[in-house]
Amino acid sequence: MIRFEHVGLRYGIGPEVLSDIDFALEPGSFHFLTGPSGAGKTSLLSLMYLGLMPTRGLVTMFGQNINGLKRAQLAPIRQRIGVVFQDFRLLNHMSAFDNVALPLRIQGKSEKEIKNNVHELLEWVGLGEHMHVLPSTMSGGQQQRIAIARAVITRPRLLLADEPTGNLDDEIGFRLMTLFDQLNRMGTTILIATHDQNMIERFGHTKLILDDGKIYAEDPKHWLAKKIEGVF
């Protein structure tokens, strides 16, 4: 469904930040993306939500080769993808409610359906009391929860989340991870960039590791085995 073949990326005339990226995500899979700061996690996610185009190689999204697609042809692909940005990218002149409602409004859903869905989700992420507040007056963790709600409200086919629990305490972070797990069980393919090793071990999905411009997969069975070896 999603495939990168020999993909490279450079910004302007700078060095390649990603080189020879080769991997595929099967429909309905759940992966963590990890790697040191500056390894290129955010850059890789940008290629996946079509915010950047690769400087070389082949990117296939939902079975479609994206190289050479026109802007109008990219829009329907983007609409199938929910993104939680590392820097949130909320609209600060709109309330939390309106930020989360926006993707549903773009899809032309009725105001009644929007109200029900947005209320339920904002309650669930613990922001029931803050629906009509402007994001700029909220804490980092609260803004992060709005960004997550906005990304999942349409039940996208692919969810990309960049450090989505970075500003949350353990309890609410765990709660939001269970939200991603539920979404995954309903069929959404998920890729989460995170430094949070506890979260990775707790949820045990395959880890994709970015290092030195390349990507490696590490099966949970493999690192669990390594961990057990370390203990005994």
Ligand X SMILES: Nc1ncnc2c1ncn2[C@@H]1O[C@H](COP(=O)(O)OP(=O)(O)OP(=O)(O)O)[C@@H](O)[C@H]1O
**Rounded to an integer, what distance in angstroms lies between the CA atom of residue 146 and that of residue 126?**
10
Binding of ligand X by 161 (CB under 6 A):
no
Binding of Mg ion by 42 (CB under 5 A):
yes
Binding of ligand X by 216 (CB under 6 A):
no
Sequence-ordered list of residues with C-beta below 8 angstroms from that of 78, at least 6 positions apart, any chain: 49, 50
Nearer to Mg ion, 122 or 147 (CB): 147
Let me know: does 65 contact 123? Beta carbons within 8 Å. Answer: no
In the chain, what's the furthest Cα-to-Cα distance? Answer: 58
Q: Exposure of 37 by Cβ count < 10 A (0-12 exposed, 13-18 middle, 19+ buried)?
A: exposed
| β-strand pairing of 16-25 with 2-10 | antiparallel
Q: Which two tokens stand for residue 98?
A: 């309106």
Q: Closest separation between CB of residue 38 and ligand X, Å? A: 4
**Binding partner of residue 83 among Mg ion, ligand X, none, CB under 5 to 8 Å per kind?**
none
Q: Closest separation between CB of residue 105 and ligand X, Å? A: 30
**Binding partner of residue 82 among Mg ion, ligand X, none, CB under 5 to 8 Å per kind?**
none
The stretch among 41-49, 126-134, 167-175, 201-209 that binds ligand X (CB under 6 A) is 41-49
Q: Which two tokens stand for residue 92?
A: 């600060």
**Rounded to an integer, what distance in angstroms lies between the CA atom of residue 48 and that of residue 134?**
29
- 19, 25, 30, 41: residue in contact with ligand X (rule CB under 6 A): 41
Nearer to Mg ion, 142 or 194 (CB): 194
Nearer to ligand X, 86 or 206 (CB): 86
Residues in the site for Mg ion, rule: CB under 5 A?
41-42, 86
- Residues in the site for ligand X, rule: CB under 6 A? 11, 14, 17, 35, 37-43, 86
